[in-house]
Amino acid sequence: MKLNIIKENSLIAIRSVRSNSMRTILTILIIAFGIMSLVGTLTAIDSIKGSLTNQFTSMGANSFKIESYTLKIKVGNGARRVRYEEITFDQANEFKERYYFPALISLSINASGSAIAKYKSEKTNPNVPVIGTDENYTFISGQEIKKGRFFTKQEVNNYRNIVVIGSQLSKTLFDKDNPLDKVISVGNIKYKVIGVLKSKGASMEGNIDNAIILPVTRVRQDFLFGNSSYTINVLPEDNLSVERAISEAEGIFRIIRGIKLEDESNFSVYKSDNLAKMLLENIKYVTIAATLIGIITLLGAAIGLMNIMLVSVSERTKEIGIRKAIGANSTTIKQQFLFEAIIIGQFGGILGIIFGITMGNAVSLLTSGDFIIPWIWIVGGVILCLFVSIIAGLMPAVKASRLDPIIALRYE
C-alpha cells in the first residue's frame, strides 16, 4: 500500500513539474549553474594538478638543480626571484669533475628567449628560446628524440655547429620535409640539424617545442656576453637517497665557491618537484574558494527553488483541498511536494554535472592534460542537489500538508 502511495505521488509530482515547464526549466538552470561552477572549477583544478605533476615527473622525480636563483611563491604577492652570485662555466665544470656521487650531471644555460631561426625563405617570429646544454640533457630533462639523435660528448667538446630543434619549430621551418641534415640560421650563424625532440607542450620550464638546443660550448662562443649563470642539473642513480645526494652536492659546491663554514650558501639547490609542490600547496586555497563560491551559488538556487515551490503551493491550494477531501493525509501531501523539489533538483544537478565536466575538461585541453571524469564531484554533486532539494522543498511541503481542507476547497 505504501509503495503504491509513493508511486502515485511520484507520478503526480512529474505531471506537476511538466505542467509548469517554463518555471521548472528556469529553476533547473539556476541549480545547474550552481553545480556547474562547483564541478567545473574543481574538475579544472584536478586537471591542472595532474598536468603539473606529469610535467615535473617527466623532468625526473628525483632530480635536482643548482642555480644562482632562489624562487619563493606567496599567495597574493606573486612570485619573487632572488638572484645570488652567477654560477660560472668553470665552476659548473669543476663541480661535474668533483662530484663523485653516482649520478648523471648536465650543464645548461638559457642563452636567449627571442631568437629568430631561418631556413631558406622560412623564418620564425622573434620568440625562439635558445638553450645551451651538454650530452646528458635528454636523460635528466625527460625530453625524447623523435627524429635523428642528440649530441655526443665529443661533439660538445669540439664546438660542433649542430642543433636539435623542437617539434613545433620543425613544422614552422620545414613543414612536412625531413629536417635532418638541413642547415638553419640563428642570427648570422649556421647550424646543421641532427635531431628533433618529441612534442611535450608548454610547461613551467617554457615551450621546449619551439626551442633550439645547442651544445653549451657553441652557446658560450656564439651567444653569451658578459656575466652569465649556468644551471647544474643532477639525476642520482635509481634507489639512491636524493637528500644525501643534495647534501653532498651542496657541500662540494660550497667548497668550489670558497664559502666559509659560518656563511650561508650563495646559490640555490632544489628538487625538480619542489616548484610543483609549492604550486599544488597554493592551489588548495583556490579549491577552497571555488567550493565556497559553488556552495553560495547553490544556496541562491535553493532559495529560488523554495520560492517557486511556495508559489506552487499557493496556486494549487484547491487541488490540495480536493486531495485531502478524498482521503489523502498530510504525509502524502508532504511527500508529493518533496518529490517535486527532488525531481527538479536532480535534473538541475545532472545538467550541471554535464556542463561542469565539459567546462573542466576544456581547461584540461588547454593545459594539455588528460580527460577527467571526476567521480567524487559527480557523486558529491548528486548528494548535494538531493540535500538542497530536501531543504528547499521541506518548508513548502510542510505548509501544503497543514492546509485545512475546507479552507483549501473554498480558496480562489
Q: Enumerate the domain spans of the chain.
A: 2-55+278-410, 63-271
pLDDT given at position 285: 75
Task: Write down the residue that cell numbers 642570427 correspond to.
Answer: 187
Q: What distances in angstroms separate CA 37 from CA 42, 149, 235, 361, one per listed residue?
A: 8, 47, 42, 13
Q: Measured between alpha carbons, how far is 238 from 235 in angstroms, rounded to an integer?
A: 9
Q: Measured between alpha carbons, how far is 346 from 383 in angstroms, rounded to an integer?
A: 9
Of 297, 380, 366, the residue nearest 42 (C-alpha): 380
Per-residue pLDDT of the chain (412 residues; tens, 9 = 90+): 456 666 666 676 677 666 667 777 877 887 888 788 778 877 877 777 766 666 655 555 578 889 886 655 444 555 555 567 789 899 999 999 999 888 889 999 988 888 999 998 889 999 899 999 999 998 888 788 999 999 999 999 999 999 999 999 999 999 888 999 999 999 889 999 999 999 876 555 567 889 999 999 999 888 876 678 899 999 888 656 788 888 899 999 999 998 888 888 888 888 766 656 666 666 777 777 777 877 777 777 777 777 777 777 776 677 777 776 776 677 777 777 788 788 888 888 888 888 888 887 887 777 666 677 778 778 877 887 788 788 777 777 777 777 666 665 555 5
82 burial via Cβ count (<10 Å: 0-12, 13-18, 19+): exposed
pLDDT given at position 201: 66
pLDDT given at position 302: 77
The region, left, alpha or beta by phi > 0 then psi within -120 to 50, assigned to residue 258 is: left
Question: Please, are residues 78 and 86 in contact by the beta-carbon 8 Å criterion?
Answer: no
| Angle formed at CA 275 by CA 273 and CA 279, multiple of 5 degrees | 115
DSSP letter for each residue of 205-258: TEEGGG-EEEEHHHHHHHT--S----EEEEEEPTTS-HHHHHHHHHHHHHHHTT
pLDDT given at position 75: 46
pLDDT given at position 73: 47
Instruction: Dihedral sign for Cα 170, 176, 179, 180, please.
Output: positive
Three cell numbers at 212?
633550439
Q: Measured between alpha carbons, how far is 15 from 9 in angstroms, rounded to an integer?
A: 10
Exposure class string for 222-231: b at 16+ Cβ within 10 A, else e:
bbbeeebbbb
